[in-house]
Structure 1
Amino acid sequence: LGASADSATDLYLRPETAQGIFVNFANVQKTGRMKIPFGIAQIGKAFRNEIVARQFIFRQREFEQMEMQFFVRPGEELTWFEKWKETRQQWHASLGLGEENYRFHDHEKMAHYANAATDIEFNFPFGFKELEGIHSRTDFDLKAHEEHSGKKLQFFDPEMNKNYVPYVIETSIGLDRMFLAVFSSSLQEEELEGGTSRTVLKLPAILAPYKAAILPLVKKDGLPEIAQEIVDDLKWDFNVTYDEKDAVGRRYRRQDAAGTPFCITVDHDTKDDHQVTVRNRDTMEQKRVPIAELKSLIQKEVDFKTWMKK
């Protein structure tokens, strides 16, 4: 570490989270009774010798990395490589950041251990840059650990009736870069009718810190009590917030800037018809919804199960 060779200090820090997975391959495979193909995923600290950290949190010396090593039969790795390219592309598309903001960049020069490699690049404010790497690492890692540790890291395949060192497909994505991709595309300034504007954080609903804000129209006439009942009902399933300060328009703007997908307003009609006004963050459309239907309405947009099935 250092700006010049004269002042540099030797540091030994891992450049990726993958090696811990390879070291523990046999342990995980045997205790989990896993069959090929299977994957091991991990999140953790990784390090780069960046002389000048720049572009906000895009390039750092210490960062958070999410990796998966997917173990496959030798000879099937390129088929799985294409499969994981497609799967990861679908995952990124599910966040709704715009398919035009992604592209694949295939490597012309590959690491000595790889036989296929591509990057998923995202259109950051400073242009298309790498967000995720997908690599076919062959059997290099497990064989290297075998050689230097003297312990077998092989898999007995009952269908083939033989032992072999699995090949590996890796997907590796930076958590910090993913954070930057989401926020840089979600934070928007919108011009509205009447010459006004609003700051809105159009986070994917699945990632929004608060899923809904419950707002009594006024702080009297029993409306706060009804709003609090709704909070008490929804809080078991969603992270929700309650806000009664300022005019309702200001509260809408406050929740827009925080990225809250829905604002639920309790008004005087609620006491008679048991309905509330639900406002959509992105479209600003408002509609009357029965209180009993709020949970299913929110769940449709923010539930992980629903999202993963899309």
Structure 2
Amino acid sequence: FRNEIVARQFIFRMREFEQMEMQFFVKPGTELDWFKKWKEIRLKWHKALGFGDASYRYHDHDKLAHYANAATDIEFLMPFGFKEVEGIHSRTNFDLSQHEKFSGKSIKYFDPELNESYTPYVIETSIGVDRMFLSIMSASYCEEQLENGESRVVLKLPAALAPVKLAVMPLVKKDGLPEKAREIIDSLKFHFHCQYDEKDSIGKRYRRQDAIGTPYCVTIDHQTLEDNCVTLRNRDTMQQERVAISELNNIIADRVSITSLLKTLQ
């Protein structure tokens, strides 16, 4: 997408990288209000990922490009310090007026409320795809010492971004537990990405799922065959709760969906 002269700090600065950009068109004279609004919205979106408010800050620009009247960066606390992950800029009408100038075509917007035409101003947000990946991975990776003296590697990915949402595990590979586990996974696999795991002890299976960032694990035991309930384990807290199989889909879907994350921005 764009060349960098010096590549450094792993994938933070590469010779070729990718960005996601949005151009938001506004009425002239309202651009600074919209700039302020988009600053707040974008920071709120970053914070919704759950890495803590202290991990983010604004860096407002004192020196502006000749076409801009406001600019700021959202910076994230990387392992090597606060670094920019997203830029927000008020670009006035420079972009559209340049298109109009060199194309020779009028691209003014007719505002029916004002009954007049004008060249819209632009608020731009631009987020680095590679930098977001780096920030999420570096903030998610943890090595924890547990109370029993053991340690675990856990990838505390935001549940909405975790590739595997749920692991389903029979406590043992006999007595009808694998069949019940398969039945559960067959009913859930159409709603989110699940894994089935029956190899090794339940503790080792939990550790494997922790390491790849799976937010929830379900264990099927002998009592499941009697009461149709399973043990649901939370990756981050390692707390376990007994829930009905009939409620699993609703519980997991609500906790891992991008929709639930986006609702926090309202």
What TM-score do you get using the length of structure 2 for normalisation?
0.98
1:216 aligns with 2:158: no
Q: Which one of the candidate residues 100, 103, 109 is aligned to 1:155?
A: 109
Aligned-pair CA distance for 1:194:
2.4
Single out whichever of 257-266 and 291-300 deviates more from structure 2.
Answer: 291-300
Deviations 1:12-35 (A, max 9, x none): xxxxxxxxxxxxxxxxxxxxxxxx
Q: Which runs of 5+ in 1 are unaligned?
A: 1-45
1:184 aligns with 2:138: yes
Distance 2:210 2:130 in 1: 23
Give 3-state SS (helix, strand or coil) of 2:148's partner.
Answer: helix
Distance 2:128 2:237 in 1: 31
Report what 1:21 is aligned to. none
1:274 aligns with 2:224: no
Distance 1:49 1:177 in 2: 14
Q: Which one of the candidate residues 146, 153, 157 is aligned to 1:199?
A: 153
Report what 1:231 is aligned to. 185
Q: For residues 1-310 of structure 1, what are the structure 2 equivalents within 5 Å?
A: 46-50=1-5, 52-310=6-264
Distance 1:305 1:283 in 2: 23
Distance 2:210 2:72 in 1: 36
Distance 1:151 1:237 in 2: 48
Using CA pairs under 8 Å that are at least 6 residues apart, name the structure with larger relative contact order, 1 or 2: 2
State whether residues 228 and 244 of structure 2, in contact with CA within 8 Å, keep that contact through their aligned partners in structure 1. Answer: yes
Give 3-state SS (helix, strand or coil) of 1:195's partner.
Answer: coil
Distance 2:4 2:159 in 1: 36
Distance 2:148 2:4 in 1: 51
Give 3-state SS (helix, strand or coil) of 1:288's partner.
Answer: strand
Aligned-pair CA distance for 1:208:
0.4
Distance 1:124 1:235 in 2: 35
Aligned-pair CA distance for 1:143:
0.4
Distance 1:301 1:94 in 2: 13
Give 3-state SS (helix, strand or coil) of 1:47's partner.
Answer: coil
Give 3-state SS (helix, strand or coil) of 1:265's partner.
Answer: strand
State whether residues 109 and 118 of structure 2, in contact with CA within 8 Å, keep that contact through their aligned partners in structure 1. Answer: yes
Distance 1:82 1:192 in 2: 44
The aligned amino acid for 2:67 is Y
Give 3-state SS (helix, strand or coil) of 1:130's partner.
Answer: strand
Deviations 1:176-207 (A, max 9, x none): 00000100000000010122100000000000
State whether residues 4 and 13 of structure 2, in contact with CA within 8 Å, keep that contact through their aligned partners in structure 1. Answer: no
Aligned-pair CA distance for 1:149:
1.2
Distance 2:68 2:261 in 1: 33
Percent identical: 65
Deviations 1:132-167 (A, max 9, x none): 000000000110111111111211111111111100
The aligned amino acid for 1:137 is R
Distance 1:84 1:275 in 2: 45
Aligned-pair CA distance for 1:170:
0.4
The size of the alignment, in residue pairs, is 264
Give 3-state SS (helix, strand or coil) of 2:7's partner.
Answer: coil
Distance 1:294 1:197 in 2: 29
